[in-house]
Every structure is written in structure tokens, then in C-alpha cells.
A and B are shown apart, each in its own frame.
Chain A
């Protein structure tokens, strides 16, 4: 059976050979087909597949640059950075995005809906770019994610440098805050190179000097495996830190200023200037916010609370608030009258407690009358009638000219964002804006004591005082002292004076004397409040009406009936100053809201100046003792039935 039979063997062999050739042909065809297939894949579609393979295994991970550190004028660190972590999700790595988010929310105990909303908002981003879903992760959240990294290849923990500001919101309006770049901002050239999610300065110095402070983010290019685990680093572009910036601020004065404000329970604003250079030594606006709340990615509840707060803590009163200057404006009147030759330092004007100008009676605050006054005594005692008389002898445009030279018209030009322009009326302004186009001379009488249509920012008042202190040079206030671009501190020059005039020495002496007397004589309006032994503080008080005296009582009664605090209609108190009288080193303004009296601002100014002198002379820094009765403020108890009074002191 096994031996092949002779019959048909040849035929069979032929047949078999033919079929073997058939098999060879089949295999050849199949292999040609395979070669063709690989030709298409490897040669024709090479570029496309190559790119996909690269994308598969390379990742670009950001190395975030820390923002520049801010120093005070003596080198004390004010604002620095700490390490924080954020948790991001890479959609490309996720097979089921909602499930990934659910898992991540579960292990971090975070809000799943919020994460979904963030991812939804950023759905237009490239799919490989991490989307930050937890901006400032707690240690526990980071630990939870790291522990489960293998199950969560799509989740990455990124280290981020985060701003730390001094505690308690110190100098909040000076520093400002940082936040995510807004879609509208991305359209601007300044931010054109940034991508969504970048952190930029959104207020204060952080905003104005953002370009210097921001630095340049670096990148790490890494190979990852299919689980998203990093295998090796291919290339590293180191981030470039933001530049270090030295501010003109003196940290001790800044602390002294805010301590005193808080001890007295006032809101308000203040600035302390080096009159020679325009450098700002300290500034504040209260109430404030805590910039640290923003650094940690502000929560919507905190943001809403800040925006809804009737006291408007986000606004910078120092440069945005516009108030009537009250009696502090008498300094402008004095200089204008002297320089225009209307009076001499020895001219005498009598005060009988009131005066009639343009057919109408204007009261002095001292209804008994000050008697015969020279300029020095008029400034010392803030005599209204003396300055009404100057207002009668000068037209509004002359006053406007001198107000401008002293910095009370327009913006001061400080390097902070969103400054409002101070305003002085003029005939040109009246012609342009009023229906009848007229300025009435009677209005000039009110302006002469800082009432009526004149409104100034506290910062402008500080610059006015600095200009008086330096004898006529209106400097541009500035906060940037030096910048370190990597080669040590380079001083940053100020923008230079806005205008200069040279006051006659006799005129300057008369004004300085009058202001010195206001603080240092028993008759002075700020006596005992602002005086520093041996430092010859010169100053002037003023009150800014919130509402006209005629309407005040009615408004307060209405507020009381509505359950609101009637103190909201109380006058604001001004104190402007410089010291020492003959060689001024520091000038400025303290503005306290609803304090009713300018002299209640003086102790704050005094404390900060004492701090200045103590530091300069190497003495221990003073401790603030608040005046016995904390004055009225919006947060203080209401004092009922505040009497109406005419004019300011």
C-alpha cells in the first residue's frame, strides 16, 4: 500500500509540479503586495507617521519662571515667591475624560463640576497641553495624586512659583495682585506671547512692571512611555526669573503708617514722599485686600465679596479717590497771591468772623473773627476770611494756573495703574461744559477755601506739599528705585519734574512759617497733634465735605431711619505736611475718611515721620499710641447729632 504504483505516477508528478508552480506564483504575488503596502506606509506616508510617533513619546512640560522679587529701598524683601503645586489634566492621555475627572475629583476631594467647567472652557486648547484643574493644590491632594499616578497617567502635578506678600495686606494697593491673563488682555501686544492660563500682574506695581517682573518660562522636553511616565529628558530650556526690583518704599515707614491707621480705626489714604526726588517712601489706601488671596488663585466667593463691599477695598483711594481739598487748598491760594503780587508776606487782612463777597455772606469757622491777619497767621489759624479775600482779588484761571504748578490739576504720573485726574475749574471749563457757559465770581470764593468744584486725589495733595517743600519743583512721584537685570542694581531715573517755578525766598519763608505755626503754636489748627520736638513739622489741616452742610443733617437723619450709619456723611480729614521746615526731607498727606477733623489725621503722619527720623538717626522705632478717643469711622460707633459748621479748618 505504501509503495507508489507505477500507473499514473508520471502524470501525477507533472500535475503536482504544475500546482507547485501555482503555489510559488501565489506566494510571489502576496509578497509583492506586502512590499507595496510597506512602500506606501513607510515611504509615501512617512512624514505623517513620523510626526505621530514623535507626538506619542515627547512631551513639553513648562518650567514656570518665578516673578521678580520686590525689595524696599533698604534691601528688605517685600514680595517673594514660594513653591506651590497645581494639578493639571492632559486630555490626550485620557481614554475617558469625564471618568478621569471623576476619579481625580474623588481622590482630591475637589469639586468635579468645577473641574469639568474648567476643562470645558479650555476645550479649544491643543489636546496635549495640560489644563490646570486645581490651581493651588494642598499637600494632601498632591500626595493623593502622586500615590495613584500609575492609575492616572493623564494627571500631572506641576510645581509653580507663587507670590507671597507681607501678611495683613500690607501695602496691598502698592503691590497690587497677580491673576490669570484675561482673554481680552491676550489681544494686546504686551501679552501676545502668552498663552491662556499665564499669570500676570493685574493691579499695582505687579501690573505696571509686569514685563520686568514676569520673567520667561522655560520648557522641558521629555520622552514618556505609553503610561505617560517620564523616561528621559531630551532638552531643557531653563526659565529666566523675573527681574528683581527695588522699590522706593521704606518698609518700616509703610508698617508704621498702616499700624497707625488701623489703631485709629480709620479708612483712608496716605503718601509720604521724598520732596527732592519724588520717590514715594510709603503709601496706603484702606480698606485693602490681601494680595495673597489672589496669589493662591482667588476663590469666587472672596472675589465677589471684595467687589460687593460698599467700602470698595479694591479701589485705590490714594490715586483714584477725588475729594474736595478743604482748607489745605489755602496753601495754593497763599502761593498764588504771593507770586502774583496780590499780597506781600506782611499784608494784613481783617477777619470779623464773616465777610460779604459778591453780595453774599461767607462765614469763617471762627465766628468771633480772627482780627487782623498776616499770611503767616492766616495759615496758622486757617482763617477763611483772609483767603476769601484772596479769592476775591484773583480770578479762577489764575488760581487754576498755580494749582496746576503745584500738581493739583491732572494726574500725578505715579507708576501705578488707573490713576484719576485731579480737577480744578476754569472759565474755559465753564464755557465748555455749562449750559450758560459762565463761571460766577462767587464760586471762586468757595474754591478759595477748597470747597465747590475743586476735587483732588490725596496723591496730588502729597505732590503739592512736596512742591512747597522743595520750593517749586513739581516732581513725578515714582516707586521704582532700581532694577537688577542680572548685572547688579541699576538705578531707574524718575520721569523728571512736571514743572518748575522758583518761589521768591521771602514768599517761601512766609508759607513755610505759616505751616510750621499751624503745627507748632498754641493757636495752630494741628497743634500738639503733629508736632515733633526738634523736627519742625510744617503742615495744614483740612476737611473735605462729603455732603454740603445745608443737606447734611437731613441726610444723616434719613440714613439713621434707613438703618444705615449716618457717619457716612461725616467730613473727611486732611493733613498735609513736610519736615523739617527749612530742609524738608519728607512730605506728604494723610487722609482719613469721616474723621470730621483734619487734625485727627495728624497723629498718623507724625508717627510715620517719627519712624523716618528714628530710623535715619539710628534710634529705636517708635510705638504708636492712638489718641484717647478713637474717632468716628464707618466701623466705629455712631455719634449722634453732629453739629453743622461752616467752612473747614
Chain B
């Protein structure tokens, strides 16, 4: 619990950082999201996760409907429809989809001890549950968020007894399918991102710019960093999306390798403690729920940070807890509410 607040403090300071000496609107909006997130956390904490799990099919259907609503009424920005305008603020339902998904899958595989993810059929059932959410988010289009639903499924399937040979098989199939996906499945900008990733200096002013600048930003931080508020890459807007997807790069610039170690340590600690909660969980539903959420958290944190080191293609994925984005913060904190819920109720019966 204490360390979620440390994570919070980190966002706090970093959000301050990148808006330089005068915090901009983004900073304040992010600050406002914190109490909302804490409320969400407390709400998720207060209701027994088993009650939620029992209602999960309903929650999940509601979520899918919300995503359909986004398709229809959503606010369009930067070429995609992701937000619902609620009058007092906007909401990004896709951020909450994984909560509902984790609940429904945990219920599905953990609710009945005889059930597991050993057979293809059982895997397929989970996949069918997963499909509509992924599809709807993918169509927004928001490939990043959509693909981040997969770890939830994969994580739960893994602890639910997924046979390792299926994993190996899936990898082989993916390798075989990748040229097909390349040719037909990807849009041009996505291909561009992959191409630039392979050789960012081919187009240093265009597609490779972000990647190069991310590396420069991170690299120029050195061992101890340039100091709080002294970063130039983010402050002078050389690094696009510096308050958003690339917030960690700004942290690396200003706080250096030392700061990176500290923050990475915090994230690892959060994951570690969460997995501990899974181990201590009173039942399989709780354990699976935690694993589903942690799997997502791990994947998104690792992918985002790797991207900021310029080692994986740039994708519009936020860094949970640190990046700008109210819905993301609230949803993440709600997720931790669920995890704490499981941990807290480990002794109750």
C-alpha cells in the first residue's frame, strides 16, 4: 500500500518536472485524477472481490457496451476515437476494459477448481470472451491498448495451467504468420514504425525522430542526471509526447541512471508484492485476478520503458502510474484496489 503512494509521488514529481518551472494544465489535470483514482481504489477495495467476480459477466457486458458507445458517440482526437465525453470530463473506457476482463477470466478459470486452461477448448472459451473487447479497441484504432489485453488473458491462462507446449506452438505459428500480417494486417504508419525502429537514422527528421530523441534524452542524463527541472530535451519539446508516453525518458534525463534504478526498483517491488498477494490469495479467483492484472502491468511497464530506451518500436503506450492520462491512472489504481482487495481478504472466509 505504501509503495503505491511512492509510485504516486513519482508521477507527482515527474509531472511537475516536465511542465518545467510552471506546471501547465496537464499537470493540474493529472493532479485532479489522483483523488479520483484513490476513490476508485477504495471503492474496489471495499467491495469483496468475490462479489465483483460473481457479477463479472455483467460488468464485462457493460464494458463491451461502453466500447460500442465509444464507436458511436466517441470523441475523435489524433485520428482515433477513444474517449467518451461525460460532460464533466472525458473517459477512456478501454483503460477499464482490462479490469472487467481480469475479473471475468479469473472467475471463469478460477471459479471452479475442476476447470483449468489445459485444453484447447477451455483456452478457446477464454479467447471468445477476450475477442470482442480486443476487437472493439483495435477498431478505435488503438493497437497498443488492445494488445495489452492479451497479457491479462495470457497471465491467467498461464497460472491456470496452460501447457507450455501450447506456448511454444503459438510462438511458432506467430513466426509463420508474421509475414502475412506484415503484408496485409498492418497500416502504413505501423510498418513505418517498425522500419524506423530497425534503422532510425534512415529518417532522422521524420519517423525515426522520436526514437532518436528518446535515446538522446535518456543518454544525456548520464549517471546522476541533469537535475530536477534542468532537462532540455523535454522542456524544449525536442522529445514529443514527453509528458505522456515518454515521461520515463524525461525522468532518466533529469535524474540519471540513479533515478532510473530507483524507479525501476519501485516498479519491480510493486510487481513482486502483487505476485505475493496472488500467492497468499484465499482462493484461485483472487490469485488469478491478481495475476491477470499484474501480467498487464508488467508487460506495459516493460514495453514502455524499453521503448523509451529506443529498443522496441514506438507505440502509443503509456507508462502506468507515471504517464499523463486520467483514465489510465484511475484504472490502474482501481486495478491495484482489486489486488489489495485480494490481499486484504486473504484471511476472511
Residue among B205, B221, B305 with most chain A CB within 10 A = B221
Contact status A56-B233, CB under 8 Å? yes
Is A57 located at the chain interface by the 8 A CB criterion?
A: yes
Contact status A52-B216, CB under 8 Å? yes
Contact string against A for B residues 299-318, beta-carbon threshold 8 Å, 1 for contact and 0 otherwise: 00010011001110000000
Q: A42-B221, A46-B220, A95-B205 are in contact. Are A12 and B236 (CB under 8 A)?
A: no
Contact status A42-B159, CB under 8 Å? no
Contact status A45-B159, CB under 8 Å? no
**How far is it, in angstroms, between the C-alpha of A208 and the C-alpha of B164 when the chains are bound?**
87
**How far is it, in angstroms, between the C-alpha of A225 and the C-alpha of B219 when the chains are bound?**
19
Interface of B is mostly: helix
The residue of chain B having its C-beta at the shortest distance from the C-beta of A9 within the complex is B113
Q: A12-B113, A43-B257, A46-B223 are in contact. Are A38 and B252 (CB under 8 A)?
A: yes
Contact status A8-B114, CB under 8 Å? yes
Tell me which residues across on chain B come within 8 A of A641, comparing CB atoms: none
Q: A2-B111, A31-B264 are in contact. Are A16 and B216 (CB under 8 A)?
A: no
Contact status A95-B206, CB under 8 Å? yes
Contact status A5-B113, CB under 8 Å? yes
Contact status B236-A34, CB under 8 Å? no
Q: Which residues 34-63 of A have a CB within 8 angstroms of B?
A: 34-35, 37-39, 41-43, 45-46, 48-50, 52-54, 56-57
Q: A12-B113, A95-B206 are in contact. Are A23 and B155 (CB under 8 A)?
A: yes
The residue of chain B having its C-beta at the shortest distance from the C-beta of A2 within the complex is B111
Contact status B268-A223, CB under 8 Å? no
Tell me which residues across on chain B come within 8 A of A41, comparing CB atoms: 215, 218-219, 309-310
Q: A19-B158, A41-B215, A53-B220 are in contact. Are A224 and B236 (CB under 8 A)?
A: yes
Contact status A20-B112, CB under 8 Å? no
Selected interface stretch from B38-46, B60-68, B278-286: B278-286
Is B271 located at the chain interface by the 8 A CB criterion?
A: yes
The minimal Cβ–Cβ distance linking A18 to chain B, given in whole angstroms, is 9
The minimal Cβ–Cβ distance linking B224 to chain A, given in whole angstroms, is 10
Q: Within the complex, which residue of A19, A42, A223 is in contact with B222, where a contact is CB–CB below 8 Å?
A: A42
**How far is it, in angstroms, between the C-alpha of A16 and the C-alpha of B257 when the chains are bound?**
36
The residue of chain B having its C-beta at the shortest distance from the C-beta of A231 within the complex is B236
Is A4 located at the chain interface by the 8 A CB criterion?
A: yes
Is B275 located at the chain interface by the 8 A CB criterion?
A: yes
Tell me which residues across on chain B come within 8 A of A15, comparing CB atoms: 161
Contact status B218-A42, CB under 8 Å? yes
Contact status A24-B272, CB under 8 Å? yes
Contact string against B for A residues 338-353, beta-carbon threshold 8 Å, 1 for contact and 0 otherwise: 0000000000000000
**How far is it, in angstroms, between the C-alpha of A369 and the C-alpha of B113 when the chains are bound?**
148
**How far is it, in angstroms, between the C-alpha of A529 and the C-alpha of B219 when the chains are bound?**
85
Residue among B112, B206, B275, B309 with most chain A CB within 10 A = B309
Tell me which residues across on chain B come within 8 A of A53, comparing CB atoms: 216-217, 219-220, 232-233, 238, 253
The residue of chain A having its C-beta at the shortest distance from the C-beta of B303 within the complex is A30
Is B92 located at the chain interface by the 8 A CB criterion?
A: no
**How far is it, in angstroms, between the C-alpha of A567 and the C-alpha of B309 when the chains are bound?**
83
Q: Within the complex, which residue of B114, B237, B278 is in contact with A226, where a contact is CB–CB below 8 Å?
A: B237
**How far is it, in angstroms, between the C-alpha of A27 and the C-alpha of B283 when the chains are bound?**
23
Q: Within the complex, which residue of A16, A35, A38, A57 is in contact with B159, where a contact is CB–CB below 8 Å?
A: A16
Tell me which residues across on chain A come within 8 A of B305, comparing CB atoms: 34
Is B295 located at the chain interface by the 8 A CB criterion?
A: yes
Is B33 located at the chain interface by the 8 A CB criterion?
A: no
Q: Within the complex, which residue of B219, B264, B279, B284 is in contact with A12, where a contact is CB–CB below 8 Å?
A: B284
Is A547 located at the chain interface by the 8 A CB criterion?
A: no
Is A28 located at the chain interface by the 8 A CB criterion?
A: yes
Tell me which residues across on chain A come within 8 A of B125, comparing CB atoms: none
Q: Within the complex, which residue of B161, B260, B283, B295 is in contact with A42, where a contact is CB–CB below 8 Å?
A: B260
Chain A contact-residue range equals: 35 or more
Contact string against A for B residues 194-232, beta-carbon threshold 8 Å, 1 for contact and 0 otherwise: 000000000001100000010111111111000000001
Tell me which residues across on chain A come within 8 A of B298, comparing CB atoms: 23, 26-27, 30
Contact string against B for A residues 297-338, beta-carbon threshold 8 Å, 1 for contact and 0 otherwise: 000000000000000000000000000000000000000000
Is B294 located at the chain interface by the 8 A CB criterion?
A: yes
Tell me which residues across on chain A come within 8 A of B114, comparing CB atoms: 5, 7-8
Contact status A42-B279, CB under 8 Å? no
Contact string against B for A residues 57-75, beta-carbon threshold 8 Å, 1 for contact and 0 otherwise: 1000000000000000000
Contact status A16-B284, CB under 8 Å? yes
Is B335 located at the chain interface by the 8 A CB criterion?
A: no
The residue of chain A having its C-beta at the shortest distance from the C-beta of B309 within the complex is A37
Is B93 located at the chain interface by the 8 A CB criterion?
A: no
The minimal Cβ–Cβ distance linking A231 to chain B, given in whole angstroms, is 6
Contact status B159-A1, CB under 8 Å? no
Residue among A2, A8, A227 with most chain B CB within 10 A = A2
Contact string against A for B residues 148-163, beta-carbon threshold 8 Å, 1 for contact and 0 otherwise: 0000000100110100
Is B54 located at the chain interface by the 8 A CB criterion?
A: yes
The residue of chain B having its C-beta at the shortest distance from the C-beta of A224 within the complex is B236
Contact status B252-A50, CB under 8 Å? no
Contact status B284-A50, CB under 8 Å? no
The minimal Cβ–Cβ distance linking A379 to chain B, given in whole angstroms, is 81
Is A17 located at the chain interface by the 8 A CB criterion?
A: yes
Q: A23-B158, A31-B268 are in contact. Are A42 and B238 (CB under 8 A)?
A: no
**How far is it, in angstroms, between the C-alpha of A1 and the C-alpha of B114 when the chains are bound?**
10
The residue of chain B having its C-beta at the shortest distance from the C-beta of A8 within the complex is B113
Q: A27-B268, A42-B222 are in contact. Are A19 and B232 (CB under 8 A)?
A: no
Contact status A46-B222, CB under 8 Å? yes
Tell me which residues across on chain A come within 8 A of B289, comparing CB atoms: none
Q: Which residues 217-242 of A have a CB within 8 angstroms of B?
A: 223-227, 231
Contact string against B for A residues 90-102, beta-carbon threshold 8 Å, 1 for contact and 0 otherwise: 0000010000000
Contact status A27-B271, CB under 8 Å? yes
Contact status A38-B218, CB under 8 Å? yes
**How far is it, in angstroms, between the C-alpha of A35 and the C-alpha of B271 when the chains are bound?**
16
**How far is it, in angstroms, between the C-alpha of A330 and the C-alpha of B305 when the chains are bound?**
97
22 A-B pairs in the complex with CB atoms less than 8 angstroms apart: A15-B161, A16-B287, A17-B279, A23-B295, A31-B267, A31-B268, A31-B302, A41-B218, A42-B221, A43-B257, A48-B219, A50-B222, A52-B220, A53-B217, A53-B232, A53-B233, A53-B238, A53-B253, A57-B233, A95-B205, A223-B236, A231-B236
Q: Which 6 A-B pairs have the closest CB atoms?
A: A49-B219, A53-B220, A225-B236, A95-B205, A42-B257, A226-B237
Given contacts A4-B283, A37-B306, A42-B222, 10 further A-B contacts (CB under 8 A): A12-B284, A19-B158, A23-B158, A27-B272, A30-B302, A34-B302, A35-B264, A43-B222, A46-B219, A95-B206
